[in-house]
Structure 1
Amino acid sequence: MARPTMEDVAARAGVSRALVSLVMRGSPKVSAARRAAVLTAAAELGYSPHAMARSLASRTSHVLGVMVSDLHNPFWAEVVDGLDGHARAAGFELVINTGGRSPARERRALRSLTSFRPAGIALLGPVVPSPAITAAADIPLVLISRSSRLSTVDTVNDDGRAGSALAVDHLVALGHRHIVHIDGGTGSQAAPRRTGYRLAMARYGLAPRVVHGEYTEAAGAAAIRALRRPFTAVIAANDLNAVGVLSALAEAGLRVPADVSVVGYDNTWLAALRHIGLTTIDQPRAEMGRLAASALISRVRGERTKPVRHLLRPTLVTRATTGPPPAPDPMP
């Protein structure tokens, strides 16, 4: 059966299409009796206004675009939950696509989102080059886990330097000296986390050891397989990366945490699974999404022009994957 239209609703209610349009836009110019007739007809037919068409007709969009860099990372799902909840409460709908962690694909995804004429766009962990962001900044933009100096772009980040330092502090307090960091490569926020690790290691007089990686499970496993000991602890790029680390350590016959301690980053639901029990750095995912939606909507409503720069403080969540380093072999 074809999707019911405004014409169908108008015919059922015995009114004009123009009046149905006024009702759907919430116009105060319609009498209570006619409004009730239109809404009853719409309910009977199962009609709901198409968000895109309504935006084009009224030239006022209530749609927010969201581009997620990596749909495989559960961190972003939890951020989108927070963003969606705040947006819906404010009367906005989301249109979501993905960039697949590819700059070229993200550029195309951004162009696709702008074609919907959204009120604003949230970019979650984008790796697209800065010029592409600058080109799209004629509409409200907010970046999550990416910095920007553009006055027309808002940002929501956690303090990656502080987060990595928390991980180093925790491991050093347990007695570790040989701590490896598998980084996120060219991914969003990999650089500040890498810097925070290096600075914290230097503070303790320890030699840093960074292994190039990605925010993926496969990259975590590959890094461990390529690593030579000695190392007694690993700070992974994120929770997904840490799962790959745990898998490769098990393949190598190394026990966690008896032989090697592992720390993740993000504190997703994955880390909290009982059989994983990952010690990790917590980013307030839902709060980051809420702040991003709030920033976009305040721009859309013209409530401010100055950029907001949210920098949230991460925290350490201790679980079962960290403990003291193994005792040295006894002297013969």
Structure 2
Amino acid sequence: MARPTMEDVAARAGVSRALVSLVMRNSPKVSPQRRAAVLRAAEELGYSPHAMARSLASRTSNVLGVMVSDLHNPYFAEIVDGLDTVARSEGFELIINTGGRSPARERRAVAGLLSFRPAGLVLLGPVVAAADIAAAASKTPVALVARASNLSTVDTVNDDGNAGAQLAVDHLVALGHTRIAHFDGGRGSQSALRKRGYLAAMRRHCLEPLVLPSEYTDVAGAKAVGKLLERGHPIPTAIVAANDYNAVGAISALNEAGVRVPQDISVIGYDNTSLAALAHVGLTTIDQPRREMGRLAAEALLRRARDPRAEPVRHLLQPSLVVRSTTGTPLQAR
């Protein structure tokens, strides 16, 4: 069957198409009786307004586009929770697309979201080029989460990844670790900042750094463990993983190799996702206030949507350490 139209609803309710349009836009100019008749007709027909068509017709939009770098990472889902809370309270709906951690895919994802004529875009952990972000910002308000920008037309919400990585190293050193490796996040957003913090903390403690190339995935964490074990003894007694997802992959590979966590080697993640808090995982990690970051990004975006010339917002949130069961005293210090 063809999708029911506004004309169909108007005919069923015995009113004009213009009045149906007013009801769908929640206009106060409609009497309660007529509003009820239109809503009843719409329900009977299974009609719902098409957000894209409505925005094209009215040149306004109640849609916010969200580009998620990696749908597999629960970190982004928790940020979306914060976005959604603010969006719904302000009468907006979210449309979500993913870039799959690929610059080319992200460009296509952003172009697809822009085709809906959204009131604004939120890009979560984007790896797309700065020029592409600037191009998007010339068409609609843009807010970035987990990505820095100097563009005056773009708002940003980040945690201090440098400080967070240093917290991780400091925790391990306080436990007695001196051989601490870092699995970096590859091309992932904020990866360079976390690596910089790791290196700074290792220098501060007069320790020799060891960085293994990795990515923000469990598979990459497992592969990095393989590379680590291939190096032979002495292996590090602790790992600062790129993120929680990477850490879980590392722990799985260590268990398969007969290396106990934390008895033989400690592992610390980054993000404090719901995955880290699971009882059978119990991952020590660095906490980012994910829902708060989503809330701040949505508020900044809606502010810019109302005033395109507003000064850019630059939120930099401080991370904190969450100690669970994957870190402990190294064997030689017991």
Bin the TM-score by the shorter chain: over 0.9
2:167 is equivalent to residue 166 of structure 1: yes
TM superposition outliers: structure 1 runs of 4+ over 4 Å: none
Contact 1:159/1:313 (<8 A) preserved: yes
2:162 is equivalent to residue 157 of structure 1: no
Paired residue for 1:306? 311
Q: Where does structure 2 lack aligned partners over 5 or more consecutive residues?
A: none
TM-score of the two chains, using structure 2 as the length reference: 0.95
The counterpart of 2:275, out of the listed 270, 276, 283, is 270
Deviations 1:233-253 (A, max 9, x none): 000000110011111211221
Contact 1:167/1:235 (<8 A) preserved: yes
Paired residue for 1:324? 329
Alignment identity in percent? 71
Q: Where does structure 1 lack aligned partners over 5 or more consecutive residues?
A: none
Paired residue for 1:110? 110
SS at match of 1:87: helix
Contact 2:240/2:268 (<8 A) preserved: yes
Query: What does 1:46-61 align with in structure 2 at a 5 Å threshold?
Result: 46-61=46-61
SS at match of 1:83: helix
How many residues align? The count is 329
Question: Aligned AA for 1:62?
Answer: N
SS at match of 1:126: coil
Query: What does 1:190-269 align with in structure 2 at a 5 Å threshold?
Result: 190-227=191-228, 228=231, 229-269=234-274
Contact 2:219/2:246 (<8 A) preserved: yes
Q: Provide the C-alpha distance between the structure 2 equivalents of 1:83 and 1:155, rounded to a whole number of angstroms.
A: 14
* Distance apart, 1:54 and its partner CA: 1.2
Q: Provide the C-alpha distance between the structure 2 equivalents of 1:98 and 1:30, rounded to a whole number of angstroms.
A: 39
Deviations 1:162-197 (A, max 9, x none): 100110111000000000010101110001100111
Q: Provide the C-alpha distance between the structure 2 equivalents of 1:28 and 1:265, rounded to a whole number of angstroms.
A: 48
Paired residue for 1:293? 298
Q: Provide the C-alpha distance between the structure 2 equivalents of 1:235 and 1:328, rounded to a whole number of angstroms.
A: 19
Paired residue for 1:35? 35
SS at match of 1:270: helix
SS at match of 1:77: helix
Q: Provide the C-alpha distance between the structure 2 equivalents of 1:106 and 1:79, rounded to a whole number of angstroms.
A: 18
SS at match of 1:136: helix
* Distance apart, 1:80 and its partner CA: 1.0
* Distance apart, 1:4 and its partner CA: 2.4
Q: Provide the C-alpha distance between the structure 2 equivalents of 1:92 and 1:34, rounded to a whole number of angstroms.
A: 25
Question: Aligned AA for 1:56?
Answer: L
Deviations 1:120-143 (A, max 9, x none): 001010001111111111110001
